[in-house]
């Protein structure tokens, strides 16, 4: 009887491990055209560390691209973009949350000579 329980537990463990291996992290590049400086980078990266399913994030404010690695069984690309927008920055086709944008320090906002912040 103990042998049957052991074999059953072993088979269950193998199935769980195999299932977990099929859900590999996904890495995407998101255009973040409204990031301006290192402070913007830190703000986004710190916020995203607390989002469920985010494995890794790197904001390149000079190229205005954010690279995100996420776990597809815990989040998706739209949730990632929305989270960035909730910090106050545009993320591809998702516009920044206006209230969050308005709370950003002046150095993190686009100036009028830089095209201004896109209207929502």
Residue 34: what pLDDT? 95
Q: Edge-to-edge strand order for the sheet containing 65-70?
A: 26-31, 65-70, 54-60
Task: Look up the CATH number of domain 23-114.
Answer: 3.30.70.100
**Separation of alpha carbons 101 and 110, rounded Å:** 10
Residue 88 pLDDT more than 90?
yes
pTM of the model: 0.74
| Ranges 9-13, 23-27, 83-87, 98-102: which has the least confidence | 9-13
């Amino acid at each position: 009887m103990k042998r049957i329980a052991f074999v059953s537990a072993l088979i269950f463990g193998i199935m769980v491990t195999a299932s977990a291996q099929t859900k590999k992290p996904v890495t995407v590049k998101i255009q973040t055209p409204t990031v301006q400086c290192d402070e913007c980078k830190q703000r986004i990266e710190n916020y995203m560390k607390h989002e469920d399913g985010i494995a890794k994030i790197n904001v390149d404010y000079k190229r205005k691209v954010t690279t995100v690695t996420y776990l597809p069984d815990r989040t998706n690309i739209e949730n990632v973009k929305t989270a960035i927008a909730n910090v106050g920055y545009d993320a591809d086709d998702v516009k920044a949350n206006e209230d969050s944008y308005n709370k950003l320090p002046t150095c993190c906002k686009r100036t009028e000579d830089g095209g201004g912040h896109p209207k929502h």
